[in-house]
Structure 1
Amino acid sequence: MRTSENAVRSLPDIANEAKPHAAGALEWVGMGEIEVPVSIGTADGRTVQSGARVTAYVNLARPDVRGIHMSRLYLHVDKSLSNEPLTPCSLRRLLKEFLDSHADLSDRAMIRVAFDHLVRRPALVSENSGWKAYPIVLTGLLERGQFSLELACEVVYSSTCPCSAALARQLIQERFGEDFARGRPLDYDQVVSWLGSEQGICATPHSQRSSAEVRVKLAPGFELPVVELIDRVEHALKTPVQTAVKRVDEQAFARLNGENLMFCEDAARRVQQALAADERLVDFWVRASHYESLHPHNAVAIATKGVAGGYGGGMDSFAPLRR
C-alpha cells in the first residue's frame, strides 16, 4: 500500500539523535557566506540596499551533542535581514533569536555581515557626481547577555610620498640653475613658460592608490554611523579617490595631493586623531597601506586607540577587512 503524498512522515534527525564519535564542546558552529539583501538607513530617511554575505554562528556548549540546528540560523537571518534595516537593536535581537532557538545547546552567538555600501559623491569642482562603493563589515557578539558590535570599513585614497616630492623639487631646482644662469636678468614670460613645460618640471613625485582599513567598537545607545565614519576618515586624509572627473576636477585633485604629502605613518596618525574624540567609539584599529609605485611591496602603519583589553597589538589586529 502506497503512502499518500500528503501524509506527514517522520524524518530522521541524525544530528539530534546520534552521539558524536568524539565528544567535545565547540567554539563556533554555523553557516558562512549566506547570501541575503541588507539595507542601511540614511540621514535623510531613505534606505540603501546591498547584497551581503553573512556568517552566523553559535557555540556548541554540550560535548555530548553531535550538531546544532543550522537551518534555524538561516531562517532567522533571512527573516530579519530581508525585512528590516540593519541597526544595533536589530542585530542584537537576531543574535538573541539564535540563542533562543538553541537554548539547550548554546550560550554565545555571533554574526558577521559583509557588504558594499554605495554612497553618491560630488566631484571636486564640476557639477558632476558618481557612486562610490565602500566595503563594510558588521560583527555582532552576544555572550552572557552582553552585546558588542564592531563596524569596519575601507577608504581608498591617494598618497604622495614626501621624500619623493623633495627629491623631485631638487631636480627642478638644478634644472632651473642650468637653464637660467646666475646673475643674468630673468624674463618673466620665459620663466612662466619654463614652469609649464616638461623641460622645466623634469621630475614628479610618485603617488599611489592607498587604503585605510578601520575597525571600531561601538558604544551602546547609538545608531550605526556608517557614512559618518567614512566621512571622518576621508576628511582626515583629504585625498579620497574620486568618481566623476573632468579636467578641472583632476587639477583640483593634483592640488590636494601636493598639499597633503604623506607617508603611511602620517596617514595612520591623521585617522587616529580624527577618531580619538568620537564618543561613539569605545576602541578602534586603523591600518594605512600604501601600495607603492616605487617598489613591489607595501608601506604599512597600524594605529589603535589603545584601550586595555582592546585592539592593542594582538594578532587579531592583522585580520583583513575582506575575508
Structure 2
Amino acid sequence: MKDVQSERDERNIFIEKVGVSSIRYPIRIMDKQNGFQNTVALIDIYVDLPSEYRGTHMSRFVEVLNRHRNNMSLSNLERILDDIKQELKAKVAHIILKFPYFVLKKAPITKEESYMDYECAFIASKDEKFDFILEVNVPVHLLCPCSKEIADFGAHNQRANIKVRTKMDKLVWIEEIVEMVENSASAPLYALLKRPDEKYITEKAYMNPMFVEDIVREVSILLNQDDRITYYEVEAISYESIHNHNAYAYLHRDKKNYKD
C-alpha cells in the first residue's frame, strides 16, 4: 500500500513535535509505602519531524507502548524514548504521562483512614541526553491573612492547588513532595473527616493564615534544603471564595545556577 506519510514535502518546514495525545493506558508507579501501585495514565508521545517528510507514522507510537506494556514505569521511561526514536527515525522523543496517585492518609484526630488522590505527571524527553521532570499537584487549604486581620471574627478560606515540578539526581518520592506542600499550607486536605477532625483543621488553618505568595516561598525553602533536587517550579492557584477571580503565584529555581 502507498505510504502517504513518507511522501516528500516541498514546503521545507521543520515541525518540533508530532505524535499522539491522550492515550489512556494502565501503568505501574513506585509507591513509598507499598512498593508499587497500579493506576491509569493519559499519555502523550511526540517526536520531531524533519522538513522533508509529510507526516509521521501514528500507529508506531502505540506499537511502542504495547511493546512496553508490562513495564510502563519510571525506571523504563528512557528505554521507551529510545525505542520511539529508533522506530520513528527521530532525533528527539517526548513522553508525558498524567495520572492520579493515591496516598492513604489518617485523619488528624480520629485517625480514620481514607485515600487522597493527587494528580501527577512524568514529563520526559530524550535527544542525546535524557531529561525528566516529576510534576505533583497538591490541593490544600488556605486562609487569607488580610481577611483575618481586618475582620472582628472569622476569615475567608479557600481551596488552592499547588503544582510542583522537580528535576532530581536521586529519587524523590511523590509522597515527599506532597508532605512538603501540605506542611507549607494553612492546612492539608483529607478525603474523610469526622467532626473532631473538622474542628482541628478549621482551627489549624485559622492559626496559620497564608497568601499564595507565602506558600510558594515556604515550599521553595524546603525544596532548596533537599540536595537531591536540582531544579524546581512552584505554582499556586487559590480559588478565591469571596472574589470572582483566582490568586496566583509562581517561582522557579535552577539550583545549580541560582544565586540569592
TM-score tier by shorter-chain length is over 0.9
Whether 1:295 aligns to 2:246 is no
Does the aligned pair in 2 maintain the 1:217–1:284 contact within 8 Å?
yes
Identify unmatched segments of 5+ residues in structure 2.
Answer: none
2:88 match: 102
Cα separation, 2, equivalents of 1:115 and 1:129: 22
Correspondences of 1:101-180 after superposition (within 5 Å): 101-103=87-89, 106-143=90-127, 145-168=128-151, 171=152
Whether 1:93 aligns to 2:79 is yes
More displaced 10-residue stretch of structure 1: 21-30 or 52-61: 21-30
Structure 2 residue matching 1:303: 3-state secondary structure = strand
Cα separation, 1, equivalents of 2:49 and 2:60: 14
1:59 match: 48
Structure 2 residue matching 1:101: 3-state secondary structure = helix
| Larger Rg computed on CA atoms | 1
Does the aligned pair in 2 maintain the 1:208–1:292 contact within 8 Å?
yes
Cα separation, 2, equivalents of 1:252 and 1:48: 31
Whether 1:83 aligns to 2:74 is no
Does the aligned pair in 2 maintain the 1:41–1:85 contact within 8 Å?
no
Correspondences of 1:253-292 after superposition (within 5 Å): 253-292=201-240
Structure ranking higher in strand proportion: 2
Identify unmatched segments of 5+ residues in structure 1.
Answer: 1-10, 172-202, 311-323
Give the root-mean-square deviation of aligned CA atoms: 1.9
How much does 1:19 deviate? Answer: 2.3
Structure 2 residue matching 1:138: 3-state secondary structure = strand
Change (3 A) 1:235 1:79: farther
Q: Percent identity?
A: 27
Change (3 A) 1:66 1:305: same
Whether 1:37 aligns to 2:26 is yes
Q: Runs ≥4 in structure 1, deviation > 6 angstroms?
A: none
Does the aligned pair in 1 maintain the 2:186–2:210 contact within 8 Å?
no
Correspondences of 1:224-239 after superposition (within 5 Å): 225-237=173-185, 239=187
Q: 2:2 aligns with which of 6, 12, 20?
A: 12
Structure 2 residue matching 1:24: 3-state secondary structure = coil
How much does 1:305 deviate? Answer: 1.9
Does the aligned pair in 1 maintain the 2:137–2:163 contact within 8 Å?
yes
Q: TM-score, normalised by structure 1?
A: 0.75
